[in-house]
Amino acid sequence: MTITESPESLTSSSDDNSNLRRRRGGGAKAVEDVTESDSSSAMEASSSSDDVTGDGGDGRFSDGNEIQEEQNDKVENEEQRKATQTTPLKYVYRASAPAHRRIKESPLSSAAIFKQSHAGLLNLCVVVLIAVNSRLIIENLMKYGLLIGSGFWISSTSLRDWPILLCCLSLPIFPFAAFLVEKLAQKKYMTERVVVALHIVITTAAILYPVLVILRCDSAFLAGVTLMLFACVVWMKLVSYAHTSYDMRQLAKSVDKGEHSDVNYSYDVNFKSLAYFMVAPTLCYQLSYPRTACIRKGWLARQLIKLVIFTGFMGFIIEQYINPIVQNSQHPLKGDLLYAIERVLRLSLPNLYVWLCMFYCLFHLWLNILAELLLFGDREFYKDWWNAKTIDEYWRLWNMPVHKWMVRHIYFPCLRNGIPKGGAMLISFFVSAVFHELCIAVPCRLFKFWAFFGIMFQIPLVILTNFLQNKFKSSNVGNMTFWCFFCILGQPMCALLYYHDVMNRKGSAS
């Protein structure tokens, strides 16, 4: 009679037999494992040495060998993990097992430094910054006390700033006038020359009107800066609206002539699209924009809280650190050179904090809040400017609305009119320098052109940083040069120059 065993009984009997054999020949098995491990290690070491010497004998891994090394490490770690789980402890990692199996680089060497994360070092830097700045805050409070006040930022008689408020509220008159001009141009009631002339008058009035209001009334510095920034944004939007509308009219005429018969193009002057454009977080006009589905109320509330916190932190640094430093310093262009350098370096750290807070509040928080309220979809208001290797790369990355406006309405129109690239770049920097000077000099009521020359000085810095980047072929050299010239030296020097010139003007007037 045939006895049929179940699969479970066969499996259990085979397992018992294998366990018995393992107990009897444990020592031999261990020797075999070590022998196999030694032979496999020798083969891996020989293959690794063959890979290294095959790459010219310089001890460096090629890209394919680096990938293979990573795969081998993963396989080795997985095998060790499985062996540790399944093998008895007395057979794991014996003294005869090889500890060095292949050629490897040190983690901080140039060949391997970018293959692992450095989050721990970044956390260390954050902890050190918190500790050092906490000590500075305590030392400052012990020396000066709490210096938060109004003074330079908010006028003691705020009622005298009402012309600034009225000027801000009346600026929408200029977009409405530009819309009427475009509406008349669409109905062909005016020639193109008349349309262009009227747009020039409207845009010029939009920037001169706030300048005259600020210069005629004795307003606070913060109110004047806010009005000038608002006026410059309106001016750039009007230029984009006029330029884009002109281009759309030309395309519509070419379609009517049959030059682009395959393009379905229609030109329409729509007040709703202009009104949305004037409040949208962009400087480039178009008929429609990518839109999001809904407003995230919880996300919006968190961004508003962050905006209040970082704005207060920025004001605290200005009142508690920057004001005492500039008040207790001499004019940087008068007196001892070493003293001026010491003042600039001492001012560089709080100035850098204020600048970073300003960037975060304006470009990340405020523009995203505005975009969320308007369902504006394109939220690329900046790129990774902190990784910029050259000065011109920084200007292309840090302020995307202005960069897109410059490229669309200044740089490429210059190229299309036969101006070389160097001349187009010079014109772009000149326009930027003029508006930087307006935003600072007009509220200070002081035209020393420090901001203008500071922006124009970026052109030789562009040439210098490009030369250093091409010479050393290292992103670190260019990035460190950018941080040194732009944040450590440039901005503190500009702050000292304007402060002392303003104080000198007030002293001579009194």
Does 32 fall in a domain? Answer: no
Residues 6+ apart with CB under 8 A from 429: 455, 456, 458, 459
Does 18 fall in a domain? Answer: no
Does 426 fall in a domain? Answer: no
Residue position matching structure tokens 């993963």? 74
Does 461 fall in a domain? Answer: no
- Mutual orientation of helices 297-317 and 367-374 as an angle, nearest 10°? 160
Q: Give me the residues of the chain with pLDDT under 70, please.
A: 1-93, 114, 148-161, 255-266, 330-335, 474-475, 503-510
Long-range contacts of 179-183 (CB under 8 A, 24+ apart): 179/269, 179/271, 179/274, 182/241, 182/242, 182/245, 182/269, 183/269
**Residue 436 is among the residues annotated as catalytic for this protein:** yes
Say what the pLDDT of residue 458 is.
Answer: 86
What is the C-alpha separation between 374 and 369, in angstroms, rounded?
A: 9
Does 37 fall in a domain? Answer: no
CA 139 to chain CA centroid, nearest Å: 32
Does 265 fall in a domain? Answer: yes
Does 268 fall in a domain? Answer: yes
For residue 135, give the amino acid letter: R
How many folded domains does the chain comprise? 1
Of 199, 243, 403, 436, the active-site residue reads 436
User: Closest by alpha carbon to 37, among 90, 102, 88, 101?
Assistant: 101
Does 34 fall in a domain? Answer: no
275: containing domain: 161-279
Say what the pLDDT of residue 172 is.
Answer: 93
What is the C-alpha separation between 266 and 255, in angstroms, rounded?
A: 9
What is the C-alpha separation between 448 and 422, in angstroms, rounded?
A: 27
CA 451 to chain CA centroid, nearest Å: 22
Across-strand partners of 291? 376
| pTM of the predicted model as reported, rounded to 2 decimal places | 0.72
User: Closest by alpha carbon to 325, among 119, 159, 500?
Assistant: 500
What is the C-alpha separation between 486 and 494, in angstroms, rounded?
A: 11
User: Closest by alpha carbon to 461, among 392, 412, 365?
Assistant: 392
